Amino acid sequence: MNKKGFIFDLDGVIVDTAKYHYLAWSDLASELGFEFTIEQNEMFKGVSRKRCMEILLDIGGITATKNQFDTWMVEKNVDYLKYIDKMDASEILPDVVRVLDFLKKHHIPIALGSASKNAQPILEKVGLLSYFDTIVDGNNVTKAKPDPEVFLLAAKQLGVKADDCVVFEDAVAGIEAANKANMVSIGIGDKNILSEAQYNFKDFTEMDAIFLNGLLAGK
């Protein structure tokens, strides 16, 4: 059996930070004089901060100078940090810890593969940092998902071949990135939205030990 590696996305897979991103982006939108809806927030999942800012300005029909663009992006993040500052272990999504414990018990290397530049403080706040052998996030990559860079780098840092990695993702762009990296892609969320994933689960509560053992034995 080849050595396996598991890669977790953060936002929407380990914790539901999408709601805090939404609050911070909608605070900024209202300051700029328009409404940003929860439906529009779907487009922001898995997407880099800079790209989110561009989409937000498109929605509001606003043209910004480079200076304004950068200032607003910082402002949004400062606001977001205020929300995540209050996070604790109660915000870990159901059965994430069970799956992490299962992998630890089997001595499987675990990576984080996220677009967020706030990944490390969030993992610290919710008390999960020690589970991760390596963290690849928005600070380490140049190409955003759906480019596979983040997952390929995570595999490299784990010392596991890309073919032997399994990825948990809640964003369409993330599933596309995992598929491009030739990894097993597991969609966490709505299977109609994540239809390109190899396997789909509403959340980790649906993922039993038989399935997890199958992943360890697979390929």
> 185 pairs with which residues across the strands?
167
The listed partner (Mg ion, ligand G6P, none) that binds 26, CB under 5 to 8 Å by sort, is none
Known catalytic membership, residue 11: yes
What residues line the site for ligand G6P (CB under 6 A)? 11, 21, 44-49, 52, 77, 114-118, 138
Among 38-46, 100-108, 177-185, 204-212, the segment contacting Mg ion (CB under 5 A): 38-46
E strand or H helix that includes residue 38: helix 38-41
Is residue 12 close enough to count as binding Mg ion by CB under 5 A?
Answer: yes
Q: Which of 171, 172, 173, 175 binds Mg ion (CB under 5 A)?
A: 171
Is residue 170 close enough to count as binding Mg ion by CB under 5 A?
Answer: yes
Beta strands 184-188; 165-169: pairing state: parallel
Supply the minimum distance, in Å, between the C-beta of residue 217 and ligand G6P: 31
Known catalytic membership, residue 208: no
Task: Compute the distance between CA of residue 103 and CA of residue 97 in angstroms, rounded to an integer.
Answer: 10
Task: Compute the distance between CA of residue 96 and CA of residue 86 in angstroms, rounded to an integer.
Answer: 20
Burial (CB count <10 Å: 0-12, 13-18, 19+), residue 66: exposed
The number of residues that bind Mg ion (CB under 5 A) is 6
87-124 b/e (C-beta count within 10 Å ≥ 16 → b): beeebbbebbbebbebbeeeebbbbbbbbbebbbebbe
Closest CB to Mg ion among 64 and 196? 196
CB 200 within 8 A of CB 187: yes
- Residue nearest Mg ion, CB atom distance: 12
Is residue 11 close enough to count as binding Mg ion by CB under 5 A?
Answer: yes
Closest CB to Mg ion among 46 and 187? 46
Report the chain's C-alpha Rg in angstroms: 17
Is residue 113 close enough to count as binding Mg ion by CB under 5 A?
Answer: no
Q: Which of 4, 7, 8, 9 binds Mg ion (CB under 5 A)?
A: 9
Q: Which residues bind Mg ion (CB under 5 A)?
A: 9, 11-12, 46, 170-171
Q: Give the active site residues.
A: 9, 11
